[in-house]
Amino acid sequence: MTPVRPLSLVTGASAGIGAAFARALAARGHDLVLTARRVDRLESLAGELRQQHACKVTALAADLADPAAPGTLCDELAQRGLAVDWLINNAGYGVPGTFVANDWRTHADFLQVLLTAPVELAWRLLPGMRERGYGRIVNVASLAGHVPGTAGHTLYAPAKAFLIKFSQGLALESHERGVHVCALCPGFTYSEFHDVTGTRMLMNKLPGFMWQSAEAVVTEGIDAVERGEIVHVTGRVNRMIKTMFKLLPDRVAMNLSARQSKRYRAQDAA
């Protein structure tokens, strides 16, 4: 049974797709728990949403690179009596450079944020959703999870491919209990992602038709999970790209991906 005011937990909510999810869900009558590392941005967004939508917003700073963070976050929710109905696993980033150009701590933190944290949050929050007979989990994956891996950002595509497969299995286990799970797979999205990775100038060379706004991505994602769609690639262009790579022989797809990726990748440090 759908709650009168669902409670949504959004990770990585301080900017980009996460902030867009927060605004869209607040506009749909949800109360919110927002989490990210930058508490000042969270508080600013929380104030905006309270004023515009008269919703309850809890801002909790958390660094999901800390293995203890998901458990601590869920314990805090339980202590406050907050039962999460929607989980938006959005927190993520890219690590530029080749695999050996970065130290292991950098890779370990990345895997914790993009793989372990979303899986643990789902594991901790799913039982309550199943018990109440209602829940939505959106794992923000990527078009990158559907195409061949490329040099540079070596772990990014594999991590997103994992989220897609994880979402598929979890959806099949949960749909009969009123819980919808969706892997949301955007392509190039206007956000801070490429500023953080230092590739903004290169990305600006891409034609405009390849980009979507964070708001458009989120609208598609909310509609998809409500429909019960398990994997959703946003935007017509991205869906065409996914289909093309699926139909191409592996060797041809790998060569094409390698050639294109060189045009938009920063020079490797090592």
Q: What phi and psi values does residue 7 have, to the nearest 5 degrees?
A: -105, 125
- Assess whether 156 carries a catalytic annotation: yes
Segment 14-33 mean pLDDT? 97
d(CA 45, CA 29): 16
Lookup: tokens for 121: 């949050």
* Tens digits of residue pLDDT in 179-238: 999 999 999 887 655 445 444 455 555 556 566 999 999 999 999 999 999 999 999 999
Instruction: Find tokens 């927190």 and name the residue.
Output: 91
Domains defined along the chain, listed by start: 7-262 (3.40.50.720)
Q: What is the pLDDT of residues 142-160, one digit of tens each?
A: 999 999 988 888 999 999 9
Which one of 93, 134, 156, 190 is the catalytic residue? 156
Task: Express each pLDDT in 37-73 by its tens digit.
Answer: 989 999 999 999 999 999 999 999 999 999 999 999 9
Contact 91, 42 (CB under 8 A): no
